[in-house]
Amino acid sequence: MFKKLSPNVKSSITRSITQTFEQYMSDIDWDEDKYDIETYMAYWREYITTKALWYTNIPEDMKSNPKFHEDLAQRINENIVRILNEPPSEEQIAAIQMMQEALDTHYEYDCKAEAVYVETLLKNHINAQ
């Protein structure tokens, strides 16, 4: 069913998944113990119904079709796996390491998105000093 969507809508859905997942993880400080799929899905539903322009372009009969929701769940899972497996860039690693040495902190990060979170956190600490 997902294959029937235009490439632009599919791309918008992927961006929405990425944005909501990264925002949710940031809101829980990338703490895996706080992660809850049901809470994330509530986040996702809120986002697509209030902010995602692509959602209004999907016909109601498609939105109510269980196959569409299965395809969407699969797309969400694939994107979350991709986000979590994308390694931080060398530039991110170097910048974070320098800031951690300056601040005497030891934040850990496992993927590029989490590195963005840590980098922002460290920059905020530096700017607050």
User: Quick one: 73 and 96 in the same domain?
Assistant: no
User: Quick one: 38 and 80 in the same domain?
Assistant: yes
- Is residue 129 over pLDDT 90? no
Q: Which are the contacts of 8, defined by CB distance < 8 A and separation ≥ 6? A: 54
User: Quick one: 97 and 121 in the same domain?
Assistant: yes
How many Cβ atoms from other residues are within 10 Å of residue 122's Cβ? 19
User: Quick one: 80 and 104 in the same domain?
Assistant: no
Tell me the two tokens of residue 115.
């590195």
Q: Which are the contacts of 20, defined by CB distance < 8 A and separation ≥ 6? A: 40, 43, 44, 47
Domain count across the chain: 2
Q: Taking the model in full, what pTM does it have?
A: 0.90
Q: Which domain holds residue 114?
A: 90-128
User: Quick one: 73 and 34 in the same domain?
Assistant: yes
The Cα-based distances of 15 to 48, 56, 68, 105, 123 in angstroms read 11, 16, 18, 32, 25
Q: Over pLDDT 90: what percentage of the chain?
A: 88
User: Quick one: 18 and 39 in the same domain?
Assistant: yes
Looking at residue 22, its pLDDT comes to: 96
User: Quick one: 61 and 24 in the same domain?
Assistant: yes
